Structure 1
Amino acid sequence: MLHSISPQHTNTNHVTIPNRIGMSALTRNRSSATVPNELMREYYTQRSTGGAGLIVTEAALITRQGGEWSDVPGIWEQSQIEGWKKIVDSVHVAGTKIYCQLWHLGRASHPEAPEQIAAGVPVYAPSAISARGGKFRFLPGAPGYVTPTEIEDPTVLIALFKQAAINAKARALTVSRVFHGANGYLVHQFLDSTSNKRTDKWGGSVENRARFAIETLKALIEVWGPDVALRVSPAGGYNDMGMPLAETTETFGYLLREVSKLGLSYVALVRYHPLLDPEYDGKKRATQHDVVATLSPFISGPALFVNAGITPAEAEELVGSGKAAGVFFGVPYITHPDLARRVKAGKPLDNAPDFATLYGARGVDPKLGYTDYKEAVY
């Protein structure tokens, strides 16, 4: 029994959660267009009754602009807010806390995506630099990423993040915020010197490249107070991200030191993982290093959670040694709705993922590979 990651209560600086096991944000493509639905409510409720201490929702788009994935939820209009509220209320019945991950794709969108077309605006990014790769399964052919339009005034995007928080709070959606700064999306694009070549106050120096993340966090805190968290993936790789190690340490070290002053709920560090390290032009892209050992010294105040490829044994060591306040499980939570209960009882994680239905499939029952995984016998 892994007692050290299953205590009575854990405090993430401002929010008390029942244990140190979190469910990571997992895009699953099951919403009704952009509206959270009843099937999603069932999915999240399964994992809350299965013992998760903290659930971070799949990334929620803050604006209609976007479209790397089909059937992902948004959080910019009333029908979406009402759908999320049903999910949040159901999760809270089980005693689980839930944070909503706010998302803007930046250059990882595509101009031919339906929601991007409906938005009537270009694909925006810090600089007009295309990411290599890209895969848009819902578009004909095999289109890759395109060259984005450089956003003239980044404060417009900060306002979208803040408005998403205002919408949720004004409509009594009792969920806190996770700021998605990982995996090569908009915030990460501002941080990384390979995707941000601006010469104004939003680019160039470490301080300038970190400005967008810091200013957006401040805007979210104006709405929600300290119940705001940040997720970053310093090893990079995914969506054509990655800087040399010295620059990575300098950039993310500065960011984490500065956001520690803001009184966040927690910071989640995404470790290096092979699945987040695609190959471009015959070479791997990520900056492989121990992100916890390298960057945890820069975090003071917010609780530290660790994410990506965590096993129960690793979780025991990370928490038991004091290296982390808690851990997030990703793919294992897809296949084990009762993951936290299994960990506490010493049950194996033996449900194999069905990759054919991981993100849903056209013409296939959406429950398959989503809400049909079996719980263990206790």
Structure 2
Amino acid sequence: MSLFTPLKLGDVTIQNRIAMSALTRNRSTETVPNDIMLKYYLQRARGGAGLIVTEGTLITRQGTEWPAAPGIWDKSQVAGWKKITDAVHEAGSKMYCQVWHLGRVSHPKAPEQIAAGVPVYAPSAISARGGKFRFLEGHPGYVTPTELPDPTVIIAQFKQAAVNAKEAGFDGVELHGANGYIVHQFLDSNSNKRTDQWGGSPENRARFALETLKALIEVFGHNVSIKLSPSGGYNDMGMPLQETIDTFGYLLREADKLGLSYVTLVRYSAGQDPEYEGVKRATNFDVVATLSPFLTKTHLFVNSGVTPAEAEELVSRGTAAGVFFGFNIIVHPDLGRRIKEGKPLDNVPDVHHLYGAEGVDPAIGYVDYKEAVY
């Protein structure tokens, strides 16, 4: 099977083309990676994932909807991640840290945002619709952010996060450019109304992503990647089709010159297409067919709803270098082995404990999925 051929990504080689997508699970201990997270990632490394990408990992204190999301800004977090990367490497997999800044979808009254002592910054002072901060009184939604005076400040935070990730033993970093977070907010003309060099034209709106990638490359060389969701409407994103193609096409064409290890394109998903005021937000089009031609030198990974059979077809035809799995790898820690040995994918997701629950054992719905009998 083509899925089980090695692939060189930057300076490292992964054992197969099966990758674990970044998946928010909300299990850290006050932003510090812990032993239950180690078990979670190790299960999937032993289960045959060639590449593992962490859940979104915060580069600085932010008022996220996910209060138990991990960070990578201090030494205790670095030490926690180092235990995990060591275990994953010993199991034969490689591991990237997905570096994450939320931009406008933080909340100013969240404890971590208050502790940070800074406003909720975004490209422009435009609120996203939606949001639900369940741990705050009244369960408020998103609020209007403060326009970021100098975007290079956040770029410097991304670079420091990469420095920390390298100390933690990661093989590379993946820039979270999807799902309506800060990189995506700069790209989208509805969330970015700036009139300086960081807004306006597709070239200017892509500047933040490209300059951040260059900063990460200064730390990790070619072991840098980016995840993009051009069709996604999550967190109130979405532009008209031609503007989407112009913007992401320019970004991909320029990113292709940087020598990245890979680019992940997230396909359209109904689950990432929320409805605001009776209107669907996403731009539904064939992301891979439309945008992959802009990449001529960089490995492409495909994400969102890919079945094992389709994954094999994508790789064998050369459409993609590899495939990221999400829900399937959550509920099947031995996904790689199951695919290789033809075992059924028969575990049922525990949706009630996907993100954990207060007062509930964090192992439930996290590390208690059964492996197949071999």
* TM-score with structure 2 setting the length: 0.98
Contact 2:63/2:109, CA 8 A, preserved across alignment: no
| Aligned residue in 1 for 2:139 | 142
Q: CA deviation at 1:13?
A: 4.4
For 1:19-34, list aligned pairs within 5 A.
19-34=16-31
| Aligned residue in 2 for 1:376 | 372
Q: Give the counterpart of 1:160 among 154, 157, 160.
A: 157
For 1:40-59, list aligned pairs within 5 A.
40-59=37-56
Contact 2:256/2:296, CA 8 A, preserved across alignment: yes
| Aligned residue in 2 for 1:324 | 320
| Aligned residue in 2 for 1:279 | 275
Q: CA deviation at 1:94?
A: 1.1
- State the SS of the aligned residue for 2:114: helix
Q: Give the counterpart of 2:172 among 173, 176, 184.
A: 176
2: distance between equivalents of 1:222 and 1:319?
30
Relative distance call for 1:172 and 1:59 in structure 2 (3 A) is closer
Q: Which runs of 5+ in 2 are unaligned?
A: none
1: distance between equivalents of 2:287 and 2:321?
15
Q: Give the counterpart of 1:78 among 72, 75, 80.
A: 75
| Aligned residue in 1 for 2:205 | 209
Q: CA deviation digits over 1:295-325, x for unaligned, max 9?
A: 0000122210000111112112211111000
Q: CA RMSD in A?
A: 0.9
Matched, 1:289 2:295: no
For 1:330-349, list aligned pairs within 5 A.
330-349=326-345
Contact 1:13/1:302, CA 8 A, preserved across alignment: no
Q: CA deviation at 1:224?
A: 1.1
1: distance between equivalents of 2:7 and 2:171?
18
Q: CA deviation at 1:154?
A: 0.3
Matched, 1:122 2:119: yes
Contact 2:85/2:168, CA 8 A, preserved across alignment: no
1: distance between equivalents of 2:328 and 2:336?
10
Contact 2:231/2:282, CA 8 A, preserved across alignment: yes
Q: CA deviation digits over 1:36-87, x for unaligned, max 9?
A: 0011000000000000000000011000123121101000000000000000
Q: How many residues align structurally?
A: 374
Contact 1:13/1:301, CA 8 A, preserved across alignment: no
Q: Give the counterpart of 1:91 among 84, 88, 97.
A: 88
Q: CA deviation at 1:172?
A: 5.3
Q: Specify the code of the residue in structure 2 equivalent to 1:51.
A: G
Q: Which runs of 5+ in 1 are unaligned?
A: none
| Aligned residue in 1 for 2:257 | 261
| Aligned residue in 1 for 2:4 | 6
1: distance between equivalents of 2:334 and 2:137?
38
Q: CA deviation at 1:173?
A: 2.5
Contact 1:33/1:71, CA 8 A, preserved across alignment: yes
- State the SS of the aligned residue for 2:215: helix
Q: Specify the code of the residue in structure 2 equivalent to 1:95.
A: G
Q: Specify the code of the residue in structure 1 equivalent to 2:4.
A: S
Relative distance call for 1:172 and 1:42 in structure 2 (3 A) is closer
2: distance between equivalents of 1:359 and 1:36?
15
2: distance between equivalents of 1:367 and 1:137?
21
* TM-score with structure 1 setting the length: 0.97
Q: CA deviation at 1:140?
A: 2.2
| Percentage of identical aligned residues | 72
1: distance between equivalents of 2:132 and 2:62?
17
2: distance between equivalents of 1:33 and 1:160?
20
Contact 1:58/1:101, CA 8 A, preserved across alignment: yes
Q: Specify the code of the residue in structure 2 equivalent to 1:108.
A: V
